[in-house]
Amino acid sequence: MTTMTLHDETVLRDDTARLCAAAEFVREHDSASLLPLLLPGIEGPDLRALAGHCHFAHAGILVFPPDEATLRARLTDCGLTADTPSHPSVVVRERLARRHRLAAADLDVRILRPQVRGADGERRAVEVFALTVPPHSRLEPVAAAERTGGHEAHLGFEVDHPDPLVLRGLCAILARHGARPDGGGYNPHENGTVLYFTTPAEGVSGYRRLELYAHGDHRDSLAAHLDHPEGRPHPGPAERPPAETLLHLLTGAWTTQALASFARLGLPEAMDTRTARPAADLARLTGTHPRGLATLLRYLEMLGAVTSENHPEGHPEDGHRERCGDRPEEGFRLTALGALLRADAPASMRPLALMYGGPFYRSFGELDHAVRTGQPGFDHLHGESHFDHFARDPELADLFDRSMAASSRMFQPLPGHPVLTAAAQAPAPATVVDVAGGNGELLRQVLTAHPGLRGVLLERPHAVATARRLLDAAGCGARCAYRAGDFADVPAGGDVYVLARVLHDWDDDRCREILGHCARAMPAHADLLIVERLLPADGSPSAATAWDLHMLCNVGGRERREDHYARLLADAGLSLHGRTPLPLGAHVLHARRTPVPEAARA
């Protein structure tokens, strides 16, 4: 059973203390007294203009609860309303993504605004941004950096009657008194425009950031704000000239093949993260051409897979290399990113590189066919589905299974899901049934985290044999049973059923069949956990959108929105009870059997 560590308790207490401090700040301050604390020296007409057109509305803070229940408990601890509704934060999500070079879709940031009464009786709020960071999540370093930096802590002023002229005037006053533009955005979920500023260091409020919030769509004013030299976020694709952006996109295939070649040639194994080696030395070790390899390595450096250093020693070929325009002193070493492609790395992603740069790369050449016909390009290229094609080739089947296991990072927080934690705490040993569980990596993580649980794995015969070896090696084999079969063979009597990255392989009719088999096998008390990437309801950029195209071209399945899964579950006699974010844009959907009304039973 997973338990909270001393570190976990410490950071939760820190989040609670910061949340309580923000609530107390809002209770104590009002607009007239606060603006001079933020903008030392402001007085007279400028102070009256700011105070006359906007009012202190909230203090903003970013916290990192492991789950929603913990967040609600922390609100209660600080005297804030725990049942405050929440909705997605577009602005903070994108700011975090830029700052930490992550996909925005991987960051499930919510906004809550519990109400607080000010000293003057005015209604204000604590604006709580909550990024869910389950224990052992890869987002823990992000949370640590944000707690230290406090980048999202701010004081918010709401513009009373916003129009372009008012917003322009308020921005000009803030600039005159030392406030610098610091990004912003438009949130379509609440139809509101946000302009952020960094206030002078001489301010004594304890907050360095100020927000102007204007109800409505004021993206023209936002564009002018962001166009200020000090207000621009890091350059992104939208800021490049269109032709440059298109050229950058068209060369994406080069990235895939460069990383795949890097892995196929055994270069990560010939390098390490501590010592740089000249390209000529690496060429001899890997049987590659020095000039060709140096060219590849410099491209990989641009991708962040390797880094270069001036090497202290020359090389016999230096004269030739100088004539070719190379740098004779250049050496290369692995970065943490590149080290993930080593075959011996923990949770190595090398199989993914070989799969995406090999079988799936070739079938993507048939994307036209998939779009014209709705049928997989893979089937058109090979004359059979990828499941059948891989089943006839043991090496390909093994590579596919290892590539699926290689993306198991999304599973790391799953053992801490409340359903599995509750099952592990049950008086009698509970059983987790992993349906189409691949090589058993997910079940291994669950059983390792919860020594009191038992497992059952349903898979194809060759996968069962692989899973048995993996679970035996992990010391979990004695608590696991195996069943070779198809979806119609889902074992009955389990306590928790898991479908991880299964449903996206199939069309809706087949999904209903699979869910129906699970529903019939599940006792009334059982839970079903479904791990999938979810298409965003608002059409925002998402890793799931890219995988949706992949599924169309290579598998014939699809990614879906949450409401789409809810309908499929309902058709199978199941109901959706909630969702929890996972890394890599995935989510856990929690479902249970829909109770049958008494009248229907009669």
Give domain limits for the chain: 6-238, 252-339, 352-404, 407-601
How far is Cα 306 from Cα 272, in angstroms, rounded to an integer?
Answer: 10
Task: Note the pLDDT of residue 237.
Answer: 45
- Give 443: exposed, middle or buried? Use CB within 10 Å, 0-12, 13-18, 19+: buried
Q: Collapsing DSSP states into helix, strand and coil, what is residue 233? A: coil
Q: Kindly tell me if the per-residue pLDDT of 232 is higher than 50.
A: no
Q: Would you state the pLDDT for residue 320? A: 39
- Predicted confidence (pLDDT) at residue 205 exceeds the cutoff of 90: no
Confidence class of residue 501 from pLDDT cuts 50, 70 and 90? very high
Looking at CATH, the fold of the domain delimited by 252-339 is given as: Arc Repressor Mutant, subunit A (1.10.10)
**Phi, psi at 594, each rounded to 5°:** -75, 125
504 is catalytic: yes
Q: Which two tokens stand for residue 203?
A: 């301010």
Q: What is the distance of C-alpha 368 from the center of its chain?
A: 30
Grade residue 392 by pLDDT with cuts at 50, 70 and 90: confident
Q: Read off the pLDDT of residues 55-69 as tens digits, 9 standing for 90 and up.
A: 999 999 999 998 888
Please, what CATH class does the domain formed by 6-238 belong to? Answer: alpha beta
pLDDT level of residue 549 (50, 70, 90 thresholds): very high
Task: Give the rounded distance of the alpha carbon of 437 from its chain centre.
Answer: 22
Query: Residue 399 contacts by C-beta under 8 Å, 6 or more apart in sequence?
Result: 351, 354, 355, 358, 359
pLDDT at 146 over 70: yes
Residue 135's pLDDT is 80
Give 9 or 372, the one with higher predicted confidence. Answer: 372
**By the 8 A CB rule, do 74 and 15 touch?**
yes
Contacts of 596 (CB under 8 A, 6+ apart): none
Q: Is the pLDDT of residue 18 over 70?
A: yes
- In three-state form (DSSP H/G/I as H, E/B as E, the rest C), the secondary structure along 404-449 is HHHCHHHHCCHHHCHHHHHHHCCCCCCEEEEECCCCCHHHHHHHHH
Residue 293 pairs in a beta bridge with: none
Query: Of 353, 117, 383, nearest to 256 (Cα)?
Result: 353
Q: For strand 109-112 and strand 115-117, is the pairing parallel, antiparallel, or unpaired?
A: unpaired
Per-residue burial over 322-349, b = 16 or more CB atoms within 10 Å of its CB, e = otherwise: eeeebebbbbbbbbeebbbbbeebeebb
Rg of the chain over Cα atoms, rounded to whole angstroms, equals: 28
Neighbouring-strand partners of residue 388: none
CATH superfamily placement of domain 407-601: Vaccinia Virus protein VP39 (3.40.50.150)
Q: Is the pLDDT of residue 353 over 60?
A: yes
What pLDDT was estimated at residue 374?
93
How many whole angstroms separate alpha carbon 401 and alpha carbon 343? 15
What average pLDDT score do residues 434-444 get? 92
Q: Which of 154, 504, 587, 590 is catalytic?
A: 504
Most confident by average pLDDT, 71-85, 208-222, 224-238, 501-515: 501-515
- Do 93 and 581 touch, CB atoms closer than 8 A? no
Per-residue tokens: 209? 């950031």
Cβ atoms of residues 144 and 52 within 8 Å = no
Q: What is the mean pLDDT of residues 422-439?
A: 93
Which pLDDT score, from 0 to 100, does residue 393 have?
Answer: 87
Q: Quote the pLDDT of residue 601.
A: 52
- Give yes or no for a contact between 448 and 476, defined as CB atoms under 8 angstroms apart: yes
Residues in CB range of 155: below 8 A, 6 or more apart: 34, 38, 56, 58, 59, 60, 205, 207, 209, 210, 211
Torsion of CA 74, 422, 559, 433, to 10 degrees: 170
Output the pLDDT for position 9. Answer: 53
The residue among 467 and 346 whose pLDDT is bigger is 467
Question: 173 in helix, strand or coil?
Answer: helix
Residue type, 144: A
Q: Are strands 86-88 and 109-112 parallel, antiparallel or unpaired?
A: antiparallel
CA atoms within 13 A on the CB side of 210: 31
Task: List the structure tokens of 424.
Answer: 């592990």
pLDDT at 499 over 50: yes
Residue among 156, 166, 169 nearest 195 (CA): 156
Bigger pLDDT: 438 or 258? Answer: 258
Give the residue carrying structure tokens 């000529």: 280
299-347 residue pLDDT tens: 998 888 898 876 544 443 443 343 334 444 578 989 888 888 999 887 7
Name which of 452, 449, 440 is nearest 479 in CA terms. Answer: 452
Neighbouring CB atoms inside 10 A of 27's CB total 15
Span 425-442, average pLDDT: 93
